[in-house]
Amino acid sequence: MTTGEWAPGKLILFELITGCFSGMPGACGLFFRRICYRMLFKKMGRNVTIGKNVTLRGCSRVVLGNNVCIDDNCVIDARGSGSSIFIGENVFIGRNTIIRSREGQLSIDAGSDIGCNCIIATDSQLKIGKYVLIAGYVYVSAGGTHRFDDPKVPIIKQGFIRKGGSIIEDDVWIGAYSMVLDGVTIGRGSVIGAFSLVNHSIPPMSVAYGIPATVRRTRGGGS
């Protein structure tokens, strides 16, 4: 939450609600967060479950669909006035996962499942389709690679190289400890093996793995 995002009255309301209910355990905590957090988000659907100690930043730019479940200790961070986060119906986000948009647009479509300890981040555009399965410890970075051309200027001050964001199409499975970089599309129905680096686009219905991820065969036949 940023102090400049809301008027003082709404900022006080945010602090009161999160201060009282963010860490409340058990069924009581789930109940009060379901009722009271509705006042914080841009839109919040029915039957949303929010676990303990979920950190919210820029939540007035976040939309949650029906039956969304956000597990304990997650971070939902829509940073900057140009950012937005859309989480569709029946999406599950595992504990300790960070969903972050920095002046970008991030969407996770219906029925997708994001594992524990993931980082899903963009400063441009990131689209995750329907029924996408992302295992634990996956890092998806759509944008934000630092420039380092000028050795006389600190890297942190040299700006970013952006490749237009990334798209993970419907029905994709990404294995644990994998990394998906900016500027790629993972085609519909593809499987990315564990510990893979996806630094180029993967065609639909592919089984790919390795560093970098290489297509090994096509689902449904063929090698």
For 47-57, the pLDDT digits (tens) are 999 999 999 99
Q: For 106-150, what is each residue's pLDDT tens digit?
A: 999 999 999 999 999 999 999 999 999 999 999 999 986 788 989
Express each pLDDT in 30-67 by its tens digit.
999 999 999 999 999 999 999 999 999 999 999 999 99
Note whether 208 and 199 are within 8 A (CB).
Answer: no
Distances (CA, A) of 223 to 145, 207, 218: 34, 9, 6
CA–CA distances in Å: residue 141 to residues 42, 53, 184: 24, 24, 10
CATH of the domain at 161: 2.160.10.10
Amino acid letter, 154:
P
Distance CA 160, CA 5 (A): 25
Residue range of the domain that includes 75:
8-218
Contacts of 65 (CB under 8 A, 6+ apart): 45, 87, 88, 89, 90, 91, 110
Position 72 in a domain: yes
pLDDT in the model for residue 147: 85
Whose tokens are 């219905």? That residue is 205
Residue 2 belongs to some domain of the structure:
no
Around 147, how many Cα atoms within 13 Å sit in the side-chain half-sphere? Answer: 12
- List Cβ neighbours of 208 (8 Å cut-off, separation of 6 or more): 190, 191, 192, 193, 196, 198, 202, 214, 215, 216
d(CA 176, CA 178): 6
- Residue 138 resides in a domain: yes
Position 184 in a domain: yes
Number of domains in the chain: 1
Q: Angle between the 26-36 and 8-21 helix axes, to the nearest 10 degrees?
A: 160
Domain assignment present for 3: no
The answer to the question of residue 124 being in a domain is yes
Q: How far is CA 113 from CA 38, 133, 146, 148, in A?
A: 22, 5, 29, 35
Q: What is the pTM of this model?
A: 0.91
Bridge partners for 24 per DSSP: none
Q: 223 in a domain, yes or no?
A: no
Question: In the beta sheet, which residues pair with residue 204?
Answer: none
- The answer on pLDDT for 5 being more than 80 is no
Task: Check: CB of residue 89 under 8 Å from CB of residue 44.
Answer: no
